[in-house]
Amino acid sequence: MEALSTEPATWASLPAVLRESWRRSAARISDPERALPPIELDGAELSSCREDHPLRLVLPVLRRLLVHPAADAGLIVATADVRGRLLWVDGARETLRLAERSGFQPGANWSEQAIGTSAPGLALATGRGVQVHREQHFSYAAHRFSCSAAPIRHPLTGAVLGVVDLTGGDQAVAVHSLPLIRAAISAAEEHLRFLPALPSPARLTTLGRRPASVSWGQQLHRLGARHAEILFLLSWYGPPHGPQQGLSAGELAELLYGEPAHEVAVRAELVRLRRLLRSRSSPENELLSRPYRLSAPVQLDAREVKAALTVGDRHSALEIYRGELLPGSEAPGILRVRRELSALLRESILSDGSADEVFRYLQLPEASQDQQAIRVALKLLPPGAPERAALVAGSENSPRS
């Protein structure tokens, strides 16, 4: 059965990643038969965004490795920012003219939130390379083309800078299309690595710190408790890290208070936070609304710990993890992530940690009285190790578990 975006009963035939994307799209696009991508940048504003965006530095690489081969095959290449706004579109002239009729042009927003499922939007939503055939687009305006896309990242931090998309006929989703895009992106990221002009994203420090702080380059600002919670939640749950494209006031109220009845208080805090960001950060770091989200990626120490543990890098995780997430916060959304991160670290250390890693783990306030961890450390440490005496003393003076 062919999947139709206007008939949810047919969606079961879609691959899982597309089915989930269609569900998210349906919550935002009420009429997929008439939906068109909004043109958010035009004229001077588009020129300014292009001049300020770090991907302008790799356009020659992308043109040489991707745009020129694409044009020869009748395809076009689009480069979009992290919000899904197309900044550059180039390639075969006839395909460019046809694409403009569907709103696939510089300045248009092709995020999931704006137009539903498309390769650029889905790549940003999932953080992975994707392919979307003609009829798999949620909005009918995009059914003319197929497309493949993958995110391009900051080579030093891993933060998503934008997305590179290949659009056109069936060749746009051929077996070799995604490998070709990834090869071009890898070359572009390597080129970015050696450019001193590449800006660093904002960094939010939340682990074991009271108060938390956010830094933009050399600027450091200490955050109030509520602003720290909101910034963390928007960064943890929002794009480009997860499938969500932002949070509504009700969703933020649930995460902060445990119930949606505090939307007025949340909106007031968001107004104050927006003023703070505008006064302290660069123009790229803005709080957007409907839904609420950050306009640029934010580095999270908590996410770095989770990423390190996921690949078994306990040494790096312990270097970054200075204590529990936002200590003192009682917000349900923070408590959930705090427990998840703490349990992930503990399980990794006790299951596979070396003697030094287990001992370092025991220096954390939350782990100092962990009797199981103490027993594991004593089992791993050699008989003459000086750390044993301190652990034995601590074990004898602690309640038995």
Is residue 199 in a domain?
A: no
The answer to whether residues 212 and 89 touch, using CB atoms and an 8 Å cutoff, is no
Give burial (CB, 10 Å; 0-12/13-18/19+) of 75: buried
Strand, coil or helix: 164: strand
Q: What is the pLDDT of residue 242?
A: 46
Residues 126 and 222 in one domain: no
Beta-carbon contacts of 76 under 8 Å, excluding residues fewer than 6 positions away, are: 70, 89, 90, 91, 92, 95, 96, 99, 104, 166, 167, 168
The answer to whether residues 116 and 4 touch, using CB atoms and an 8 Å cutoff, is no
Q: What domain count does the chain have?
A: 3
Residues 289 and 337 in one domain: no
Calculate the alpha carbon distances from 96 to 74, 102, 104, 120, 205 in Å: 9, 10, 8, 16, 44
Residues 368 and 238 in one domain: no
Domain span at 365: 301-396
Residues 272 and 353 in one domain: no
Over its length of 401 residues, how does the chain's per-residue pLDDT go in tens digits? 688 888 888 999 899 999 999 999 998 899 999 999 999 988 888 998 898 788 999 999 999 999 999 999 999 999 999 889 999 999 999 999 999 999 999 999 999 989 999 999 999 988 899 999 999 999 999 999 999 999 999 887 677 889 999 999 999 999 999 999 999 999 999 998 887 655 667 889 999 978 899 887 667 889 999 999 999 999 898 755 444 567 889 999 999 999 888 999 999 999 999 888 877 655 556 788 878 888 777 889 998 899 888 878 898 899 999 999 999 999 999 999 999 999 999 999 999 989 989 999 999 999 988 999 999 988 888 887 888 877 877 665 555 44
Residues 242 and 369 in one domain: no
Q: What is the pLDDT of residue 396?
A: 56
pLDDT digits (tens, 9 = 90+) for 74-119: 999 999 998 899 999 999 999 999 999 999 999 999 999 899 999 9
The answer to whether residues 279 and 271 touch, using CB atoms and an 8 Å cutoff, is no
Phi, psi of 133 (to 5 degrees): -75, 165
The dihedral sign for the CA sequence 305, 215, 327, 337: negative
Residues 78 and 150 in one domain: yes
CA distance 132 to 2: 15
Is residue 37 in a domain?
A: yes
Residues 290 and 252 in one domain: yes
CA distance 8 to 13: 10
The answer to whether residues 349 and 316 touch, using CB atoms and an 8 Å cutoff, is no
Q: What is the CATH number of the domain that holds 260?
A: 1.10.10
Q: Which of 298, 329, 355 is the last residue of a domain?
A: 298
Q: Which amino acid is at 20?
A: E
Residues 77 and 189 in one domain: yes
Residues 141 and 236 in one domain: no
Calculate the alpha carbon distances from 376 to 134, 314, 369 in Å: 56, 16, 13
Is residue 205 in a domain?
A: no
Q: Which of 250, 274, 298 is the last residue of a domain?
A: 298
Q: What is the CATH number of the domain that holds 17?
A: 3.30.450.40
Residues 227 and 177 in one domain: no
Q: Which of 275, 298, 321 is the last residue of a domain?
A: 298
CA distance 205 to 209: 7
CA distance 297 to 272: 20
Residues 33 and 168 in one domain: yes
Q: What is the pLDDT of residue 398?
A: 58
Is residue 104 in a domain?
A: yes
Is residue 3 in a domain?
A: no
Which run of H or of E encompasses 22? helix 16-26
Is residue 207 in a domain?
A: no
Beta-carbon contacts of 149 under 8 Å, excluding residues fewer than 6 positions away, are: 119, 120, 122, 123, 129, 130, 163, 164, 165, 166, 181
Is residue 103 in a domain?
A: yes
pLDDT digits (tens, 9 = 90+) for 60-70: 999 999 999 99
Is residue 1 in a domain?
A: no
Residues 22 and 47 in one domain: yes
CA distance 354 to 316: 13
Beta-carbon contacts of 338 under 8 Å, excluding residues fewer than 6 positions away, are: 324, 325, 326, 329
